[in-house]
Amino acid sequence: DQQVKQNSPSLSVQEGRISILNCDYTNSMFDYFLWYKKYPAEGPTFLISISSIKDKNEDGRFTVFLNKSAKHLSLHIVPSQPGDSAVYFCAASGIGQGAQKLVFGQGTRLTINP
Amino acid sequence: DGGITQSPKYLFRKEGQNVTLSCEQNLNHDAMYWYRQDPGQGLRLIYYSQIVNDFQKGDIAEGYSVSREKKESFPLTVTSAQKNPTAFYLCASSISGAAEQYFGPGTRLTVT
């Protein structure tokens, strides 16, 4: 049972435009959500997170939006840059999973075209 | 320079052999984790430890074992009982109670 889903395996965006990566979850006990960026053969790096008490969190070019009623979150990157080309994972944690256990989506490969 | 180190980067073993993957952190984090990543899939939790001398099974613990004798170290043994051991293995750590986990560079294990 995939509790965190990223339905788009890949996304291609023109440099300078907005990249929108989506993530859906099924477990209503999740109360904290994170986005990670991963380059090939490297470990993921933490990008941005959001608590369920918020609906938006911004950090520079990265903004995460949370729609609890739809159990959906999205990561916006604007403007997109070539260095943003990577695989992006969303992850969730919550009371039902134990405070420190993360459940990851399958990832979305983002390619920024010049 | 704080961080998480995993060694080696690439590891090759024959089927039927046990192999131990190293993970060391100098971030003074209490919690440590092991994940496995397969092509086209997300990270799946193998084992985690919230404190020294204590660890819990994750979602796919069968065929793996761990120890946590020191705060800084959380080695993972892939045993011969693991049916599909070839994968990319990632170690992570976090402050106790915090959701943000910080990852090492990973070890790619190939078993033939």
Local mean pLDDT, 10-residue blocks, chain B (112 residues)? 88 93 95 92 92 93 97 96 93 89 95 92
pLDDT of residue B99: 87
CA distance B16 to chain A (A): 25
Asked if A102 and A94 count as a contact pair (C-beta separation under 8 A), the reply is: no
pLDDT band at A41 (very low <50, low <70, confident <90, very high): confident
Tell whether the torsion through CA atoms of B73, A40, A101 and A50 is positive or negative.
Answer: positive
Mean predicted lDDT score pLDDT of chain A: 93
Around Cβ B34, how many Cβ atoms within 10 Å? Answer: 26
pLDDT of residue A98: 47
Contacts of residue A45 in chain B, CB cutoff 8 Å?
103
pLDDT of residue A75: 98
pLDDT score of A105 more than 90: yes
Which of A10, A31, A102 should one mutate to test binding to chain B, selecting the residue with the greatest count of B CBs within 10 A? A102
Of A8-22, A68-82, A91-105, B82-96, least confident by mean pLDDT is: A91-105
What is the rounded average pLDDT of the residues A40-64? 95
Q: How many pairs of residues across A and B have Cβ atoms under 8 Å apart?
A: 65
pLDDT band at A95 (very low <50, low <70, confident <90, very high): low
Question: Measuring CA to CA, how many Å separate B10 from each of A16, A28, A95?
Answer: 36, 39, 36
- Opening angle at CA B59, ends B32 and B101, nearest 5: 30
B39 touches chain A (CB under 8 A): no
Contact B48 A105 (CB under 8 A): no
Give the A window 38-97 contacts with B, CB below 8 Å. 41-46, 49, 89, 91, 93
pLDDT of residue B56: 94
pLDDT of residue B104: 96
pLDDT score of A99 more than 50: no
C-alpha–C-alpha distance, residues A103 and B7, integer Å: 25
Q: In this prediction, what percent of chain A has a pLDDT beyond 90?
A: 86
Give the B window 51-110 contacts with A, CB below 8 Å. 58, 88, 90, 92, 94, 96-106, 108
